[in-house]
Amino acid sequence: MKINFSTAADHLGSSAVREILKVTQGKDIISLAGGLPGEDLFPMQAVRDAYNKALSADTSALQYGLTEGYLPLREQLAARLTGQGISVSASDMILTTGSQQALDLLCKILLDPGDAVLVEAPTYLAALQVLGSYRADIHTVQSDEHGMLPEHLEEQLRIRRPKLLYAVPTFNNPSGATWSRERREQIVDLCRRYDVLILEDNPYGEITFDESPGAYPPTLAAIDRSGEGESCVVYTGTFSKIVAPGVRTGWIVGPPELIRVIAKAKQAADLHSSTIDQRALAELLKTFDLEGHIRLISREYHSRMKLLSGELAARSWEGTHFLEPRGGMFLWLTLAEPISAARLLPYAVEQGVAFVPGEVFYSEQPRKNTMRLNFTHTPPALMQTAVQRLDKALKIYSQSEELTQQISQAK
């Protein structure tokens, strides 16, 4: 039978990353494409023990739970966030199926078709997809290496009258960039003045490469809460990068009025997320040295980033540049102007290496000569080979482009 889908369904994009992963499946390909943490660093034993404890307690572990999530875990998280300068209580928080669900639910309760939303360029691909599925009117705020430009933000706030500003201000996916403290203060201040909510998406913020005290600016949420007046920052985080994606637990923190409505939306969406995962995480936080583990993976990711960065620098491809990220999982590479990373990709896959063409992370005016490289998932021993393959792909691509040009000129 002919199925008549909803308008929302027509606006569901497919993920470029997902399509790339499909192409690479089963092949001998080194993938710098996915946004995956390193599996070799997962704390398997501690996680297994935690699930065992969670399922050794009373039978209520297997019963329906609260839509808002397992209270002891919310309390532990609230204490942890408070320690990070984001003063919250358990009732200001909802646990979600990864922070992706937090993003989806927030958009559901805020956005009507045509509502304006401001984003960075480039920004998180799945955020663009979610915003698109709610038919938001997405506008870009210009940035430099310190973050969004306050002048342009104010102009956009005035002209677009947005309902939401979405950003990953710390170790941005895909660009790896981090906003300065000054910019953070300016942006929170501006949004508060224009009565616009900010969704600060912070999955990577704890994966830091610089261990000196005060090396990083506070989160927007911390700045927001330390100021006077009502809060305008909604904050989402996840265990996916600091424990493992499989534990499938994120959180969203915001004004109580907002959290209440998100709870209603979540109840309709799935009643509640996995209680067993949440109870296991509560057990894990009791005994596992999470802070020590975060230091461990941060150091290892730092060393992997340096490895990738070194390999890239050694090639000194003409017209190519990048900045080393100060944390997180991604390195953003800008190739020489005429190169299209999307057209380069098939050559790369042919050579046995994959990446994500940068253009998919833009809602408008994509920079086609960019690519996102993940450095956390590929074993260090393979990094050199990965870049060698990329090098070979670039050479074959260039020859092929030249040939194409010659043929078209000869016509």
Q: What residues numbered 242-281 form the site for its own copies, per CB under 8 A?
A: 244-248, 255, 257-258, 261, 264-265, 267-277
* Gap between the Cα atoms of 135 and 369, Å rounded: 28
Closest approach of its own copies to the CB of residue 379, in Å: 12
Enumerate residues 329-368 that contact its own copies by CB under 8 A: none
Over its C-alpha atoms, the chain yields an Rg (Å, rounded) of: 22
Using CB under 8 A as the binding rule, the residues of this chain from 40 to 79 that contact its own copies are 40, 42, 44, 47-48, 51-52, 55-56, 59-65, 67
- Residue 283 near residue 54 (C-beta atoms within 8 A): yes
Asked if residue 386 binds its own copies (CB under 8 A), the reply is: no
* CB nearer its own copies, residue 268 or residue 403: 268
Q: What x/- string results for residues 18 through 47 when contact with its own copies is judged by CB under 8 A?
A: x---------------x-xx-xx-x-x--x
Question: What would the two tokens of residue 82 be?
Answer: 């408070």
Size of the site for its own copies (CB under 8 A): 82
CB of 55 to its own copies, least distance (A): 4
Contacts of the segment 44-52: beta carbons below 8 A, 24+ positions apart = 46/284, 46/287, 46/288, 47/243, 47/244, 47/247, 47/280, 47/284, 49/283, 50/280, 50/281, 50/283, 50/284, 50/288, 51/276, 51/280, 51/283
Residues 179-198 touching its own copies, rule: CB under 8 A, are 192, 195, 197
Per CB under 8 A, 5 contacts its own copies: yes
Q: 42 vs 317, which CB is nearer to its own copies?
A: 42
Q: Taking a C-beta distance cutoff of 8 angstroms, is the pair 125, 361 a contact?
A: yes
Angle between helix axes 44-54 and 275-287 (nearest 10 degrees) is 120
Per CB under 8 A, does 167 bind its own copies?
Answer: no
C-beta closer to its own copies: residue 143 or 298 = 298
* Footprint on residues 202-241 left by its own copies (CB under 8 A): 230-232, 240
Do 61 and 275 contact (CB within 8 A), yes or no? yes
Residue 328 region by backbone torsions, left for phi larger than 0, else alpha for psi between -120 and 50, else beta: left
User: Which residue in 26, 28, 83, 112 binds its own copies (CB under 8 A)?
Assistant: 112
Helices (H) and strands (E) in the chain, counts: 14, 15
3 touches its own copies (CB under 8 A): yes
